[in-house]
Every structure is written in C-alpha cells, then in structure tokens.
Chains A and B, each alone.
Chain A
C-alpha cells in the first residue's frame, strides 16, 4: 500500500487554478523531490496535502485512508507532517516548547522526543533558546525536529534550502539523508536546486503551471530533460496533461 496517494487534485485560489488535476503516489521509505519554477503550484499542492487548502476536486489518501475531509490539525495525528515554507517556528517560544507542542498535541511520548534529539544533536544544544533568535540553518533543523517528533509516516518539506547558506544546506541534507536510511517514513521535498534534488531523491517530478510535466527516477533522467521541463521547453510536456 502506498504511503501517500494524491488523486486528481485540483486547487484554486479564487479564479486562479494553481494545481490542475495532479495525481501522485509515494511508497513507504521513498524520497520524492518536487521541482518547478515559482508559481508552478508546488506549495499549493503541499498545502492541499497538509489540509491547509481545500481542494476543489480530487482526494488525498494517507496509508490507503481517505483524509480529504480531515482538517489540517488532524493530519499530524495520522502520521502526516509538514515543514512549511519559511519554517514558521513559534518565535516567541523556546526551541523546546516548539517541539513539545507538536509532541504533546499528537500524543507522542517523551521517548520519541528523545529519539528525535538523538537524531538531531544540534537541536539538543538549542533547546533553551528562544526560537526567534536562531540562524536560518538552526531554524530549519528545529522545524525538522518539530515535524519528526510527531513520528510521521509521510514528511513533507517545502522549500528545504530556501534562504539558507550553502554550508547550512549541506548540513540539512546530511540530516535528511540520515533519516532516509533510517526507516519506513516517506519524504517529499520541494527543492529549487535541480542538482541537489536529483542527487538526493529516489524519484523526481517536475511541475509546470499546476501540472506534472515530467516524472522519473534520477538515473533515467538527464539534467537537460529536467531543466527543459522546468522551463516548459520539454517536448513531452503536453503528453502528461
């Protein structure tokens, strides 16, 4: 059974259709990268999966269960967690409280909390600090810890490296790679950097104007193909639509 399945999702902002009949399936343990230019509909797709945006059409399944009508706050309980664009930490709270909220709201144990800190040692050193005073890389690490503490079966990471220094991006990806080796949890990442995305994922989809225009394993795709799809120059770009 797939970890996450998106069936023919269409999402609108008023009259603007941001996501147009997108279908996707992610297997347990798989890492999927979503690439695409600004405005391609990646973030709206993520927000729809996380429940922050109601789809006009289509359905979302988590582990085979239809969660389309589950409100956003109910989804972390079921094992779907998202690190939103811009991290969105609670800046007036400490790092510990940021993580604690996610932990206690979803009813996870202190053991999970401890395990997450073991996986992300840098976060342990930050626990007492106010989240508002962290650097970009530290914020991303805390945001990932906050998502992991809900013990997700599917982890969505929007704009993983946006706004981070190259060194911080390396650290974040090392962390994510360690998680990838760790188990069953599937990961979906939005990444602007094509090389980074292709090097990290098991499978890659490229979005353009709300549709998926290219899909495949990195070893089957060339950098050229992905780049053309990204800018809408791909020959087969209409084949999927």
Chain B
C-alpha cells in the first residue's frame, strides 16, 4: 500500500484521456442543436443513469459502503423540489436548493448509520428509504400514493425545457465526474483506498475512517438527489413509489458491477451498457429486469472486476488512473 503511494504516477500534464473527454463534452454540448427531441430526452435519461452509477461506485467501490437504500436521496431530492416549488421558488432554483438540502440532511444520517457495517448497513439504509417514502406520503401535497405533477414546469417552452434539462444533466454529470476525479486523488481519496484495503491498519496510522466514509456518503447523497431532480424535471410527475423505488438501486448496482466496481471508467461503461440494454430490451418488461439480475449474478461470480476490471488486467490501460486502482484490483 505504501509502496503504491510511492509509485503513484504524477500526471500534472493534461493526458490524452482528458483531451478525449473534452472532445466528447464539446460534442455532447452541441447535441440539442442538431438532434431530435427524442434523442435529447434519451440522452438526458442516460445522464441520470451516469450520475447514479458514478455515485454508487464512489460508495461501494471506494468507501466500501454497499447501499441498497440510495433511492432515499433520489426520492427525497424530488420531494424537496416539489415542496420548494410549492413555497414559491422557481423550479430550477428549487432543484439546486433541494439537492443541497438533501446533502445537509445526509450529514446527520451518515453520522448515525455509518456505524453499521456490511449487510446491516445495506438493509438499514433500505429501511431508511422506506421510512422516508412513507413519511413523504403523509404530506397532503403528495396525496399518498397518487403523487403530484410539477405544474410550474409547464410555464417553460417545451423545447427550451427539454434542452435545459439536457444541459443541466450534462453539467451535473461532468461536474460530478471532475469532482470524483479530484476527490479520489485527494488525501481523503487516498485514505478511502487505505480503508478499503485494510480498515484496521488505516485506523492505526491515524486515518479517521468514519469521517472519510461520511464525505463519500454525503457527496453520493447529493449526486443522487441531483439525479432525482433531473428525472423529475424530465418527467414532471412525482410519485413516492416510483421516486423512492428500489429499482434505482438495482440499476446502480447493475451498472457499477458490469462496468467495473472501483474503477473510474467502470460506471461510465456500465451506464452506457445499461442504457443500450434498456433501449433494446426494455420492452420485455419483467423478463428484461430478470435478465439484468442474471447478468449481475454472472458478473459477481465470474467477472467481479467488471468490464473495465477485465480490460485493465488484460491491457494494463487504466483510463483516468488514480495511479493505484490497477494494483489493488488484483488481490490474491
């Protein structure tokens, strides 16, 4: 571990991957100028998936937190937005303030719940999501199961709204990817990797494991809330059962496991794969979802490193390397 830090490649010069990323970003920014409405809508959905996958990877891949309750923040974000709009805030401002609110709420939650470990933590978060869903249903505004439509969004021109959602989604994804990139190279990121490899040893050299996990947890909560906002902006309707649905976590798990848990590019690859599968097989309903579960099982048992883990171990190419991931993937 310590030798890894010593060998950490310094990459101050802008590498080829960054140029490629800028090129893709430029292309994506321009998409609404020439693509049809349907394509813009679909890509916005992809951005939601990307955000979720990147956030879940931060949690499970780097901080060792398996959350099956991440829909709590996705759904809570939407609820805050609905409430803030009702209170008179303009919709897009409400999204931003609401996501910040979720991050703030996540701080005390993290302090309490991260004392648990492994499967206990996973289920406790799930219960938390259920509690939030049930609590939100008490709000007369949400009308129980019925939900509510964000009618304020109708004041915008549909095309303008669609494009704005798209650009916001793109900005959120790129922003969070850049943030994740620097987070993983920061002192906190290094500490997280030390904890992942050996929590006791990390504590013995003075790393505050709880604090490090909290940082990851709150960032992931914020990211998932943003994803919930973009979803809400796109669909306009808010329903507790959908927005707090366990399927969001199923999707996150699938994308990260298939793409490559604990690799930087893994969740991006996983989100694209998931998006394509959704496009091709989405009409098969339950059998499609069962297939996703089966693929997740196969990856967990046959290829736990996911696609990027496999590519990295075969070719040695680590896109956006944090300089350590590669060594740590192949554990004896």
- Which positions in A face B, CB cutoff 8 Å? 12-15
CA of A232 to CA of B153, assembled, Å: 78
Residues of A within 8 A of B332 (CB): 12-15
- Which positions in B face A, CB cutoff 8 Å? 331-332
CA of A14 to CA of B330, assembled, Å: 9
CA of A229 to CA of B331, assembled, Å: 33
5 contacts between A and B (CB under 8 A): A12-B332, A13-B332, A14-B331, A14-B332, A15-B332
CA of A15 to CA of B332, assembled, Å: 8
Residues of B within 8 A of A14 (CB): 331-332
CA of A13 to CA of B332, assembled, Å: 7
Residues of B within 8 A of A12 (CB): 332
B305 to chain A: closest CB distance in Å?
Answer: 16
Closest residue to A13 on the B side, CB-wise?
B332
Residues of B within 8 A of A15 (CB): 332
B4 to chain A: closest CB distance in Å?
Answer: 12
A142 to chain B: closest CB distance in Å?
Answer: 28
Residues of A within 8 A of B331 (CB): 14
List the 4 shortest-distance A-B pairs measured between CB atoms, nearest first. Answer: A14-B332, A13-B332, A14-B331, A15-B332
CA of A73 to CA of B331, assembled, Å: 25
Residues of B within 8 A of A13 (CB): 332
Closest residue to A12 on the B side, CB-wise?
B332
Closest residue to B327 on the A side, CB-wise?
A15
CA of A13 to CA of B331, assembled, Å: 10
CA of A169 to CA of B178, assembled, Å: 60
CA of A15 to CA of B330, assembled, Å: 11
CA of A12 to CA of B332, assembled, Å: 9
Closest residue to A16 on the B side, CB-wise?
B332
A48 to chain B: closest CB distance in Å?
Answer: 15
A57 to chain B: closest CB distance in Å?
Answer: 16
